[in-house]
A and B are shown apart, each in its own frame.
Chain A
Amino acid sequence: MTTAHAKTIFTSEPFIPSWAKVASIYAEMGNAWTLQFEVPEGQDVPTFQPGQFAMLYAFGIGEAAISHSGSAAPRESLRFTIRPTGATTCALTRLSVGDTVGIRGPFGRGWPLEQAQDRDLIIMAGGLGLAPIRPVLKNIQMARTSPRRTALIYGARQPEHILYRDEFDDWAASGVEVHQIVDRATGAWDGAVGLVTHLVPKVSLDFENMVAFLCGPEVMMRFSAIALEDAGLPAERIWLSMERNMKCAIGHCGHCQFGPAFVCKEGPVFRFDQIRTNLFCKEI
């Protein structure tokens, strides 16, 4: 790649990656790494919307869709949390400070923050699904989005796997009602153990005037969406972030097709009532 290509990270040339250098990399709990990138002088870093993703290219190995997990603060504009699941993500999590990757994006439709304005917001996240939610919480902290009240229900496998564990207190301090729940616990954990859906009745929000953002394993999102609906929240106010295997990220190749929609273009964030049929249809 030549520097002639490296001007703006995706505007008019969506297939051509720009370069970014690893500024920091650190291990999170639960087998995940958070990487922060910086771009060479003269390159613009485009602003992303919470819920959007980028394509990160480990040179010679492959590209993977990774959600932006940073904030609107300049030094957090290229921050990602990655779990090694295959060749590309393994390579990305083994990078060192100063190493270079290719990057395209931001892509996709993020969280509909305007829907949360002046309404209550319930966020249900599981495991690594907290990564695309973090920008929403940072936005709330920075008063860029102002739901009336916000509650976060976060589920993890066990207490040792809670992602961003140092940030929960900050979110609580900014007014977010924080609930954590794990599947199993040993030792000193005195929090809740069970499914995320168990905490829905404990949330002190106004279900009549609320929106929900869900992100996590698909089965978890299905059960959570149904639990919210049963609690009185209409399906058209529930939003889910979907994942499908992705290649081009701009709606051309069809790899990420989800029924009639492409996750990269119409998603990854979808409205529950609009994807409901396909969500409950096997092997879509």
Chain B
Amino acid sequence: MSGITDLLSVHPVLQGLAPAFLNHIAECAHQREIPAGTQILTEGDTASHFFLIRTGKVALQTSSPSTKVETFQTLGGSDFIGVSWLAPPYRLAFDAVAMTDVSAIMFDARCLRAKCENDHALGYALMQVFVPAIIERLKCARLKALDLYAVTNP
């Protein structure tokens, strides 16, 4: 487990998390090497895993008949994907596709939720990690909804 704990301790998303908590959540984590082009997460699926990206690039996508596949955010080495693991109904809202080879740490969401349930201090610490990032993504979504760079004709 110490190998995974070491990887977790240097990941930017988890900076500030106490070593005891890192050891604890490492029990739910596995290292994953994901080839470019792999669909990592699929819209509508149960959020059974979430991933800390170590290296590589991932596209968050959705599709519609008019736009086909549309990428609305790319994430890289200091990000995570699969945030739906945190809150009911634990269902993924978007697809995530590896744009390059990706090295990631994959967490079993059920294992992690059980640990948070049993240790509220850990749950609170993880909320402090994820909530700012979720707020940042919400801000990003709202700004995009404003369509700041629209180039419409008069």
Q: Which residues of A contact B (CB under 8 A)?
A: 30-32, 83-86, 90, 126-127, 155-157, 161, 183-186, 189-195, 198, 201, 216-217, 219-220, 223
9 A-B pairs with least C-beta separation: A127-B149, A157-B149, A31-B151, A217-B148, A193-B74, A185-B71, A30-B151, A193-B71, A194-B73
| B154 and A85 contacting across the interface, CB-CB below 8 Å | yes
Measured in the bound complex, the distance between the Cα atoms of B151 and A219 in whole Å is 16
Closest chain A residue to B99 by CB distance?
A190
| B143 and A219 contacting across the interface, CB-CB below 8 Å | yes
Q: Which residues of B contact A (CB under 8 A)?
A: 59, 67-74, 78, 99, 139-140, 143-144, 146-154
| B149 and A31 contacting across the interface, CB-CB below 8 Å | no
Measured in the bound complex, the distance between the Cα atoms of B148 and A194 in whole Å is 12
Measured in the bound complex, the distance between the Cα atoms of B152 and A86 in whole Å is 11
The total of interchain contacts (Cβ-Cβ below 8 angstroms) comes to: 70
Chain A to chain B contacts (Cβ below 8 Å), 14 pairs: A31-B152, A32-B151, A126-B149, A156-B149, A183-B149, A184-B71, A186-B68, A186-B71, A189-B71, A191-B74, A194-B74, A195-B140, A198-B140, A223-B143
Measured in the bound complex, the distance between the Cα atoms of B151 and A185 in whole Å is 16
Closest chain B residue to A181 by CB distance?
B74
Q: Provided the pairs A186-B70, A193-B73 are in contact, do residues A83 and B148 lie with their beta carbons within 8 angstroms?
A: no
B76 to chain A: closest CB distance in Å? 8
Measured in the bound complex, the distance between the Cα atoms of B149 and A156 in whole Å is 6
Closest chain B residue to A190 by CB distance?
B99
| A126 and B148 contacting across the interface, CB-CB below 8 Å | yes
A269 to chain B: closest CB distance in Å? 20
Closest chain A residue to B72 by CB distance?
A184
Measured in the bound complex, the distance between the Cα atoms of B73 and A30 in whole Å is 21
Measured in the bound complex, the distance between the Cα atoms of B69 and A84 in whole Å is 30
| A157 and B143 contacting across the interface, CB-CB below 8 Å | no
A129 to chain B: closest CB distance in Å? 9
Measured in the bound complex, the distance between the Cα atoms of B75 and A194 in whole Å is 9
| List of A residues within 8 angstroms of B147 by Cβ | 157, 183
Measured in the bound complex, the distance between the Cα atoms of B154 and A85 in whole Å is 5
| A219 and B148 contacting across the interface, CB-CB below 8 Å | yes
Q: Given A86-B154, A186-B67, A217-B148, list of 19 further CB < 8 A pairs?
A: A31-B151, A32-B151, A126-B148, A156-B149, A157-B148, A157-B151, A161-B149, A183-B72, A184-B70, A185-B71, A186-B70, A186-B71, A189-B71, A190-B99, A191-B74, A193-B71, A194-B74, A195-B144, A217-B149
| B148 and A192 contacting across the interface, CB-CB below 8 Å | no
Closest chain B residue to A218 by CB distance?
B148
